[in-house]
Structure 1
Amino acid sequence: MAFTITSEVGVAQAELPSAHSAAVHIGGGCLADGPVGQVGLEIEAHCYDPADPWRRPGWDELTDIIAGVPALPGGSNVTVEPGGAVELSGPPLSGPVAAINAMTADRAVLRTAFAQAGLGLALLGVDPLRPARRVNPGPRYRAMEQFFAASGTAAAGAAMMTSTASVQVNLDAGPRDGWADRVRLAHALGPTMIAIAANSPLLGGEFTGWRSTRQRVWGQLDSARCGPVLGASGDDPASDWARYALRAPVMLVNGAETVPVTDWVPFADWADGRVLLGGRRPTQADLDYHLTTLFPPVRPRRWLEIRYLDSVPEYVWPAVVFTLVTLLDDPAAADIAAGATEPVATAWDAAARAGLADRRLYAAANRCVQAAAERAPQELREPMQQLMRSVAEGRCPADDFADRAVTYGIAPAVAQLARGEL
């Protein structure tokens, strides 16, 4: 992760006396008061063998390559997602340009290491070709599979874990007196940014009819865990998050073993003792772990973890990141974004399905990208101009990949991306 949390071991192991005490802990630690400015980036890329794009590289193959990656100049950590996607998680840096430059340098080193091993890393919101399959043997992911199967969302859960990839942006929560407006805007920007960055028109070798199939997959999971946190008014983000977390069902109990919870047990019921899991009430450590199993599009973790962007191509992700950060961190740009996105602030499904073909999202996207482009430094002018042109034409990366897939076929198109051919 780009930011870190610490807790006292003794406190973490004490059982919580009630849901109210859990709510106090959640609300008290969800956002950190302070200035804005730090930016942390996380970018996931699907790993392919360009010579056989249907093949999914295995766990040992991936970890052996990663073990040989030299020190990354930007300080990112490298991890493997459940389906074998490779993630770079950068440290918090001052401003979007520093974060973008560091991530660009780290991605170049990582791509070279994988290319030397005969593999490629493709930036797509979902794997358009291979069936869902887990390669990461971690007990958390094995237990998550069992949870999704028991909850009736096995297919969507498997696709989410093993077939999706994103660009995640982590930002400071900002001054306390601005939290409500900042969190509201982070949510309101969601549909517009999804429409701009949509990059997943295929899944399982077929066109889905959605420009962001990744967002569609997340929408098929239970909204208590994956829906937006924002309450009716959005005036108290800390209370909204506490309420959301306590209503969400417990997914896993993490102890000597990670055990899935196959019944619907809201965390509040466990904390109040109405249901005992593992024969006991939860500890603070259980609560902190529960929070890591909640996947809303904007997740408060003392900072704001913005999770709704598809993984997008090399030529456009810096511009997408700069746009999102600028619209939230620059006060004048934030005012413009708030006005532009108000008509589409809840249009999550329309954004994922139609993208910029929706006229309201098209209008909001053009206004938002223009506001960001006006504030772009010289080194980002070219990618920002390219993003402005694409948005003005009503196109997103999904349209480009769809054209490539139709022209060359899905497997050849994937192989081209894995080889770095734009």
Structure 2
Amino acid sequence: MTFGRLADLQPHLPASSDLLDVHAAAQYVSDTCLSDTPVGRVGLEVEAHCYSLNEPTRRPSWEEITDTIATIPTLSGGSTITVEPGGAVELSGLPMVGAAAAIASMRTDRALVQSMFARRGLGLVLLGGDPLRRPKRVNPGFRYSAMEEFFTNSGSGVAGELMMTSTASIQVNLEAGPRARWPERVRLAHALGPTMVAISANSPMLAGRFRGYCSSRQWVWSELDDARCGPFPELLGQDPTCDWARYALWAPVMLVQCNNNQGAMPVIGRVPFAEWADGRVLLGGRPPTTADLRYHLTTLFPPVRPRSWLEIRYLDSMPDDMWPAVVFTVATLLDDPHAASIAAEATEPVATAWDRAARVGLADRRLYEAANTCVRTAACRAPAELQQSMQRLTWLVEQGRSPANDFSDQAVAYGIATAITKMAREEG
């Protein structure tokens, strides 16, 4: 999902082949990470695990998934379809004016894609983690095989494999907003994180067992390198563009693109991009270019990622009766000034409680209180077409429950495979 071509937003960018030193790299990142724009447009990305309806323990092959995608006509909402490393199917929507429009468009596209997959005996299930199958990569892309090798060599192979093949999210993309509001807006986007993790938690199981977390997806991300996947940083300064530049340049380089553009080479050992840019290390036998820096930025996965707009990346994938309300809540709390003020005060006590939110969710008293305040604030601003979803979300939060509780109940009552099949046939 993009909010416009980067070249249009930043016409002064250097050519991608320009060699960089560390100062030019920092300037590039600082200049391009946020765009001075009004708030209002919203884009969505929705990931769903793909299962065989008749054999839910089997992971559908790359050919099965891509052959099915080839039968789907152009989606009326403009969403594009891509496949994650483990076979999860992602819909990336066009930006729309307002959350309600983005939600309506994604609902329409998802319903059609779900029905087309069902015709091929496949189901798309909205869960934050795959509760049934062991991790396995099916996407043969060069980038993903190189990422696999990188994680193995860096000592985080298990978490890396789970992240790539067994987790799924719903991503909310929002405009960066006016420059004068960037510090408070980026700070609030982070501060909302633990509360929204607790609300959206929907991955109590991974690979056939309970992991002791409401959001095992968030736990998996926390097991990866904090310099690549953690907030940037926990305590933000007054200029988020400088914070992001500092984070990006000290994050270790994961992959270096081959000169023939036919793949990527994993970096063995820990090499911050700054050390490559200042000449202390040569990767691929050469200094970095602007193209290398752009590629490096795509390998950073913090919970909030600036890409000219803001990517909100900390939500678990959730059922169709819930994700519209959660998306509307996030967009409202960030884009509506009065709602943002309420949310900032409500979430301040739990602004860094990422692990607590992933582990116990709304069972934590402070997260429960923040969640209820945030959801009530959004609910009173929801349009008629979202009332049913907002009522469902409000009730769950008041009960101190998340989708993880519902799935756990179904898994215990019916067994994991039956619960998955039931969800696959009902969603969409």
TM-score range, shorter chain: over 0.9
Counterpart among 173, 182, 188 of residue 191 in structure 2: 188
- Aligned counterparts of 1:325 and 1:179: Cα–Cα separation in 2: 15
| 1:140 alignment partner in structure 2 | 143
| 1:344 alignment partner in structure 2 | 350
Counterpart among 307, 316, 328 of residue 310 in structure 1: 316
Counterpart among 331, 334, 343 of residue 325 in structure 1: 331
Equivalent position amino acid for 2:323 in 1 = W
1:215 aligns with 2:221: no
SS in 1 for 2:284: coil
Deviations 1:75-121 (A, max 9, x none): 00000000000000001110000000000000011001000111100
- Matched-pair contact (CA < 8 Å) for 1:72–1:106: yes
SS in 2 for 1:121: strand
TM-score (norm: length of structure 2)? 0.97
| 2:33 alignment partner in structure 1 | 30
CA 1:10/1:182 → structure 2, altered by over 3 Å: closer, same or farther? Answer: closer
- Aligned counterparts of 1:341 and 1:45: Cα–Cα separation in 2: 29
Equivalent position amino acid for 1:206 in 2 = R
Aligned residue runs from structure 1 range 203-352, under 5 A: 203-230=206-233, 232-255=235-258, 256=260, 257-352=263-358
Deviations 1:125-170 (A, max 9, x none): 0100100000000000000000000000000000000000000000
Aligned residue runs from structure 1 range 83-232, under 5 A: 83-230=86-233, 232=235
Equivalent position amino acid for 1:122 in 2 = V
- Aligned counterparts of 2:2 and 2:32: Cα–Cα separation in 1: 17
CA 1:264/1:358 → structure 2, altered by over 3 Å: closer, same or farther? Answer: same
How far residue 4 of structure 1 moved from its aligned partner, in angstroms, is 4.1
- Matched-pair contact (CA < 8 Å) for 2:248–2:297: yes
- Aligned counterparts of 1:10 and 1:188: Cα–Cα separation in 2: 34
After the TM superposition, which parts of structure 1 deviate over 6 Å for at least 4 consecutive aligned residues? Answer: none
How far residue 61 of structure 1 moved from its aligned partner, in angstroms, is 0.8
Counterpart among 365, 376, 379 of residue 371 in structure 2: 365
- Aligned counterparts of 1:148 and 1:5: Cα–Cα separation in 2: 31
1:401 aligns with 2:402: no
Equivalent position amino acid for 1:192 in 2 = T
RMSD: 1.2
- Aligned counterparts of 2:358 and 2:48: Cα–Cα separation in 1: 20
- Matched-pair contact (CA < 8 Å) for 1:187–1:230: no
Deviations 1:367-400 (A, max 9, x none): 0000000101111111111111100000000000
Percent identity over paired residues: 64
| 2:3 alignment partner in structure 1 | 3
- Matched-pair contact (CA < 8 Å) for 1:120–1:420: no
Deviations 1:32-76 (A, max 9, x none): 001000000000000001211011011111111001101111000
Aligned residue runs from structure 1 range 64-83, under 5 A: 64-83=67-86
How far residue 345 of structure 1 moved from its aligned partner, in angstroms, is 0.2
TM-score (norm: length of structure 1)? 0.98
- Matched-pair contact (CA < 8 Å) for 1:77–1:88: yes
Counterpart among 10, 13, 18 of residue 14 in structure 1: 18
1:411 aligns with 2:411: no
- Aligned counterparts of 1:105 and 1:173: Cα–Cα separation in 2: 27
How far residue 11 of structure 1 moved from its aligned partner, in angstroms, is 1.1
- Compare 127-136 and 4-13 and name the one that shifted more: 4-13
> How many residue pairs end up in the alignment?
421
